Structure 1
């Protein structure tokens, strides 16, 4: 049985009733909802009209009428209601009409579903949903979007001023701007976001221009932080998430970038004032506000560096002033205080870097550069390398002025090693430290071997194994020397016929590890000669390949002085002992006789005679009785000398070793520069003068800051020694000679 043909007018009339019913429901008029039967009838009508044989297949006509149904509804009902409303009321109406429109699209696309499944797919036409959205876009959105945008922006500004607004309404309107783009953000960005951002900029520009004049830097930053927080909250509540970055950048620009210089340089509350007053919380806020702004932290880091430099330089100047016209021991004390203050300064600002500035590399760099400036200044003629070495010596030696617990000592040493990183002449520190370490080890002045090893480990981590190899060798050497002494004592016990006559302790060291010391052929008294011979015999039994060189200047002797009042034990150097023992066989000796019999230099003889006849303990009487030693003086044993102590130590006047240390370091630097130049030229073969100097400075920079003139001098020296040659055509180019 053949199906009855449904004509277009007849079928559409039936569909029109369904559409009218839907419109009445949407407008809130009394109308029963669609039941299943009604829904199926409407769907079936469309199905039948689309599946009739041509010319009665009305698919195209129904597709057009679907669109016309929306256009007619919008024209007759939607636009009149929107045009008569304004501002917030218009937004509410727009949201309502958009919601109704979506419901209408949903229902009509169900009725016309057959078109979507077959006709539209075959012809590659826009879907029913798309047609509905395009109708709303072209007939509603295009007319009202400007008014809607302005109304939304006005409400946002009201909220910024503290008024309560309907956030849900704004969220719904913003969703319309997004949905109209049909998966693209162009409509939202062009029709709404651009104007919203522009208004935001203008709003905060007005606010900032007042706040910068009225508020202190901390108050301004509090307001800026609160504004940024509220704008982020605004995005999470009703704006699209893609706006967050742009909105934040706009607010940052107006509040923080435009007024950055004025804000940071505010006279009594800017960045400098916050650092001076230790306003940790405000500095943390400053970092939080500026760290996401490109190059925003640069001026803060710059102020940070200037502030630390000024504080450090002031400490150095105070120390310099305090040491002027002071005694040597007071100067040494002031220098110790200075190092302690610099450590405290470093602790303080390192805490700022870690806590306020979140460990940011820019502030680490600022701190480093600031400390490099004032840590390399000279105080009372002493370089910072020498001061640090003296500070370590004071902590590590017995009876140092620093009375600290083991934990505090280790912590302080850690901090000293950190300071060393800022010092350009690390090789100078190494040499001064080595000299002082030698004295601590040789004269048993080291408070703890553990602490000695601890700092060497820290120095090794900081500066590399080469830096500490000799020092580590010294510590090891001393352990071996103790074992050697034990063997010597055992040798004496096993050979009763071999006796040195007096108690003898010998410390055998490896020349390469220790600082160089002057060794003179001192004419030892007979008692001492015997000791030396006995030890030589013992040592030659152990090894034939090592030669012993005796350093008498480092020796100490305990001798008994038999005075009229009582016998006193004198703790003296080997030189002093040798001189005093001469008076066992002579009552009176002249300066020249002493010099001949001892075989010492004029300078050394003056020092030892001064210590015995002109200083605190006058073991010898001098003629004439003056405070200085001259070659015409004569000396005799002072038998009337007495002291309340039974044991006294007679020190030799100290020798200023600074000059020798500096000379040794300069010599080592020449070798280091030579080695660097040869190393570079060996790998490059052919190189320009400027490039060679730069690479040389870079290679040596870890240990010391090489002088450019010194590098030029070494290049010339290497040319004369045929390691390099100048290019014939260009004298500024060098060639390596293999």
Structure 2
């Protein structure tokens, strides 16, 4: 029957096409003008049924075929077509051109209709085909579940989906492609989600890329099908990240920490790109997992060390000591460090540590390259905005201004015909920009060799900047001394305090601790620390093994060093636990002020606000810098109530009002 129908349909459709061309003038000049517009047909403008419309000759011929041939035979045609499709699924031995032609005729006879041109095709064939397809793949899925493992099941389901998609494209109208695929996915995937989800964790843990790729392809079209899969991937990445940084030891912990995490991040970024086609659900899982790893605390009360470690990693790259790496390699590593930086909750802690380390690099000229320094600050600015890097930019400005001041001071001395007798350069730093404490500065009497230079600079600076006050930070100063009393000359770079302790040996073979106190005016406790540094460096020797107040010191005339130029690291240049503790204390104070400012800003704008709404608003405003605790916000609210910036509402204890 299908063969006969196909043969006669081919003749009839071809003939109707010729006839339509023959009567083209009639169609265009009479029939077309009598037809109503699409809007009239769709919205019933004239209340005219479609059967009452005048049809073009070709459309009339197709309508006759539909009434005379299709309507009486539609049940038989549908049944025969379904049998042929079933046969194609079994062995593929069907007459493709005939089946396609018969199915296409159901579309073709109604194609002249402007409203619902596919209704006949859908009613006669598509609905029944979709129902039969669903039943077939329901049976197929049950059989595969009995015979296959999860991995094998996914392979076979994907093969069935591909086969059915190809079958749709061979035989069906394009409008059916998605419907067929959706029906197959429902019966073979959506109806068996529990089975597929049960294997998620195992294949993720073993990182079976082929299986994960198959599972992703199957679950992606299913509503909420990926939820459990995404969660398992997130937990796996989190566990891998925590394992990578769990047992770091040695002096290079910052480098190990950052590079281990970057390695894990790169690995799973590639996996998500390759296996999950860069799906945003899995990118989000990667971000959440890394945020959890990087901000992990060993216990609730301890601080997260990640901001400090990332800052130290950047410091190690930007220092002169970063040997064996080209400028390009350093720049690449710094750029990669921003990947980890973006996940930090406590970016303000990072900023504090980074600023302190930057200050030391600039003051002691330990930086590898000023271009690299500026490039890194620009990256931080892009990540967090201008406010985050404002003080860092001001530090660079001070360095540039100081360079100009040194040139002008040199010209000033020449004009005054003053010979300082030494090479003298200064750094004039803004107190508000540099993380250098001015409190508790030790008393210090500068050596007479420096008095003239210091006095001349104060005169010069006072003339150029009237009203500004200079505070000399001698503990941060460096000096170069030439040691000429040894077998060969050495040039040593050391702190100003150390220089002041060595200069008295120009006129005396030995100096007592009490003499050094009188000469330097340093507090005894501070002086003991500075003398001990010189003893440890073996520049001087003592009658005691350690620096004591009763000690007598003399130059070590047997001192040798492989290098003719060397440095004695001062205590200021070394990082101490006290510095770390002070940094964290400063961060806490900054946070309290930031939260208080956020509360006042919010209340000034809102006037009246509920307690929970205020807390959420403050958290939202602070998120870019740090994650404030609820307890901190509550304490800041109480502080502002005491300061009379806000008050509790008279009508509700859970509401605050702004005091204008």
Q: TM-score range by the shorter chain?
A: 0.7 to 0.9
Write the distance in 2 (CA, Å) between the matches of 1:609 and 1:721.
48
Residues 114-168 of structure 1 deviation map (CA, whole Å, 9 limit, x = unaligned): 9x99xx9999857798998788767765664334323222221221223221112
Write the distance in 1 (CA, Å) between the matches of 2:478 and 2:108.
96
User: Is the Cα contact below 8 Å between 2:204 and 2:236 reproduced in 1?
Assistant: no
Larger relative contact order (Cα-Cα within 8 Å, sequence gap ≥ 6)? 2
Question: Which of 194-203 and 638-647 deviates more?
Answer: 638-647
- Residue number among 334, 343, 355 corresponding to 2:262 in the alignment: 343
User: Is the Cα contact below 8 Å between 2:203 and 2:211 reproduced in 1?
Assistant: no
Quote the residue 2:90 is aligned against.
Answer: 161
Write the distance in 1 (CA, Å) between the matches of 2:333 and 2:150.
37
Matched, 1:246 2:179: yes
Matched, 1:148 2:93: no
Q: In the superposition, relative to structure 1, how do residues 370 and 678 fare at CA in structure 2: closer, same or farther (>3 Å)?
A: same
User: Is the Cα contact below 8 Å between 1:689 and 1:733 reproduced in 2?
Assistant: yes
Matched, 1:578 2:489: no
Quote the residue 2:235 is aligned against.
Answer: 306
Quote the residue 2:430 is aligned against.
Answer: 510
Quote the residue 1:724 is aligned against.
Answer: 646
TM-fit CA distance, 1:227: 3.0
- Residue number among 411, 432, 451 corresponding to 2:332 in the alignment: 411
Any stretches of 5+ residues in structure 1 without a counterpart? 1-89, 324-329
Matched, 1:91 2:91: no
Write the distance in 1 (CA, Å) between the matches of 2:144 and 2:400.
71
Write the distance in 2 (CA, Å) between the matches of 1:573 and 1:725.
53
- Residue number among 469, 493, 496 corresponding to 2:390 in the alignment: 469
Quote the residue 2:128 is aligned against.
Answer: 195
User: Is the Cα contact below 8 Å between 1:212 and 1:259 reproduced in 2?
Assistant: no
Q: In the superposition, relative to structure 1, how do residues 239 and 269 fare at CA in structure 2: closer, same or farther (>3 Å)?
A: farther
Q: In the superposition, relative to structure 1, how do residues 141 and 436 fare at CA in structure 2: closer, same or farther (>3 Å)?
A: same
Quote the residue 1:671 is aligned against.
Answer: 593
Q: In the superposition, relative to structure 1, how do residues 234 and 462 fare at CA in structure 2: closer, same or farther (>3 Å)?
A: same
Residues 414-472 of structure 1 deviation map (CA, whole Å, 9 limit, x = unaligned): 11112211000011111111111111111111111111111111111111011111111
Q: With structure 1 as the length reference, what TM-score do the two structures score?
A: 0.76
Matched, 1:364 2:254: no
User: Is the Cα contact below 8 Å between 1:726 and 1:735 reproduced in 2?
Assistant: yes
TM-fit CA distance, 1:552: 1.0
Quote the residue 2:552 is aligned against.
Answer: 635
- Residue number among 436, 439, 461 corresponding to 2:357 in the alignment: 436
- Residue number among 458, 471, 474 corresponding to 1:552 in the alignment: 474
User: Is the Cα contact below 8 Å between 2:165 and 2:181 reproduced in 1?
Assistant: yes
Higher-Rg structure is 1
- Paired residues for 1:224-303 under 5 Å: 224-263=157-196, 265-266=198-199, 270-273=203-206, 276=207, 279=209, 283=212, 286-303=215-232
Give the SS at the match of 1:189: helix
Q: In the superposition, relative to structure 1, how do residues 542 and 212 fare at CA in structure 2: closer, same or farther (>3 Å)?
A: farther
User: Is the Cα contact below 8 Å between 1:557 and 1:573 reproduced in 2?
Assistant: yes
For the aligned residue pairs, the C-alpha RMSD in angstroms reads 3.5
TM-fit CA distance, 1:390: 0.6
Residues 193-216 of structure 1 deviation map (CA, whole Å, 9 limit, x = unaligned): 222112212222333334456556
TM-fit CA distance, 1:503: 2.2
User: Is the Cα contact below 8 Å between 1:525 and 1:582 reproduced in 2?
Assistant: no
- Residue number among 355, 361, 372 corresponding to 1:451 in the alignment: 372
Quote the residue 1:529 is aligned against.
Answer: 451
Write the distance in 2 (CA, Å) between the matches of 1:570 and 1:392.
28
Give the SS at the match of 1:318: coil
Write the distance in 2 (CA, Å) between the matches of 1:527 and 1:638.
20
TM-fit CA distance, 1:318: 2.7
Write the distance in 2 (CA, Å) between the matches of 1:543 and 1:532.
16
- Paired residues for 1:89-168 under 5 Å: 90-96=1-7, 141=70, 144-168=73-97
TM-fit CA distance, 1:696: 0.3
TM-fit CA distance, 1:96: 4.6
Question: Which of 403-412 and 686-695 deviates more?
Answer: 403-412
Write the distance in 1 (CA, Å) between the matches of 2:478 and 2:460.
21
Quote the residue 1:488 is aligned against.
Answer: 409
Q: With structure 2 as the length reference, what TM-score do the two structures score?
A: 0.85
User: Is the Cα contact below 8 Å between 2:295 and 2:304 reproduced in 1?
Assistant: no
Give the SS at the match of 1:559: strand
- Paired residues for 1:610-625 under 5 Å: 610-613=532-535, 615-623=536-544, 625=545
Residues 452-503 of structure 1 deviation map (CA, whole Å, 9 limit, x = unaligned): 111111111111011111111112221221221122222233333x233332
TM-fit CA distance, 1:663: 1.3
Write the distance in 2 (CA, Å) between the matches of 1:570 and 1:425.
40
TM-fit CA distance, 1:358: 3.5
User: Is the Cα contact below 8 Å between 1:522 and 1:598 reproduced in 2?
Assistant: yes
